[in-house]
Amino acid sequence: MPESDMPARPAHLWPRAKTYVRQAPGTYIWLAALFVTTVALHHMTPAFETTFLRRRSTNLHELSQNPVRVLVASAFWIDGSSWWPYAALYTLFHAPAEHRLGTPRWLAVVAASHILATLISEGALLWAIHHGHAPTSAVNTLDVGVSYALAGVAAVLTYLIPSPWRYAYLAAVLTVYGLPLLTGTGRTFTDLGHATAVLIGLCCRPLTRATAPVPLTPCRKPPPPQ
């Protein structure tokens, strides 16, 4: 390739990146909101941050008082985490799912995974408290973040990957989210929530039937010379 062509390569990446973002508006609007809230958290004192997040947490106390508010609010905060890993994860999982499913169906998977996994995991925690397997103070356990929705979307992507790669991908998803629940000595209700979200994502297969599998050919071959 002539050296004169080398500087042009980065210039071609920017339009593609913009197109990629525009085709997943829900993913990147959500990611922008998480950036703002993460910056806000970094300007809070540790004591105030804990109180602030607890009011937006889907813990048992808040769910019993303001279920709709905390189910929505908890999806816009990251508990003490860096924003950059989520930017990478959203680009790898949420954006491709939104591209293939369209924003309404992608959002349906997100909502189902986040809400149902939260309610099931918190229900299990409530059962544990009532039967003496968890302390009463656990009703105020902090539970914010976007990981349940991410797990559900990662699972539904299984149906958008052609065979035989989809089976290797599914095995990886089940290992990442299922192994802590099955073998971890310090299992928590969030481990149950992640595994539940994966199952919910897999149950969303009907939402994928109108879409084609994601092709694994990243670029087209150049036409033969005339």
Q: Quick: pLDDT tens for 96-127.
A: 999 999 999 999 999 999 999 999 999 999 99
Query: What's the CATH number of domain 15-208, 3.40.50.300, 3.40.50.11540, 1.20.1540.10, 3.30.450.40?
Result: 1.20.1540.10
pLDDT of residue 15: 83
CB hemisphere CA count around 148 (13 angstroms): 30
In angstroms, the Cα distances linking 152 to 19, 33, 64, 167, 218 are 25, 20, 25, 17, 25
- Is 189 a residue whose pLDDT tops 80? yes
pLDDT of residue 210: 65
- Is 83 a residue whose pLDDT tops 70? yes
Q: Give the mean model confidence (pLDDT) for residues 116-141.
A: 93
**189-203 vs 147-156: helix crossing angle, rounded to 10:** 30
Reported as a pLDDT band with limits 50, 70 and 90, residue 16 is: confident
The residues near 34 (Cβ < 8 Å, ≥ 6 apart) are 76, 77, 78, 83, 86, 146
Q: In 13-43, which positions are buried (b, 16+ CB within 10 angstroms) versus exposed (e)? A: eeeeeeeeeebbebbbebbeebeebbeebee
CB 160 within 8 A of CB 208: yes
Locate 115 and state its tokens.
């809400």
Q: What angle do CA 71, 51, 49 make, to 5 degrees?
A: 95
pLDDT of residue 13: 79
CA distance 206 to 22: 25
pLDDT of residue 218: 39
Q: Residue 56's CB: how many other CB atoms inside 10 A?
A: 21
Reported as a pLDDT band with limits 50, 70 and 90, residue 181 is: confident
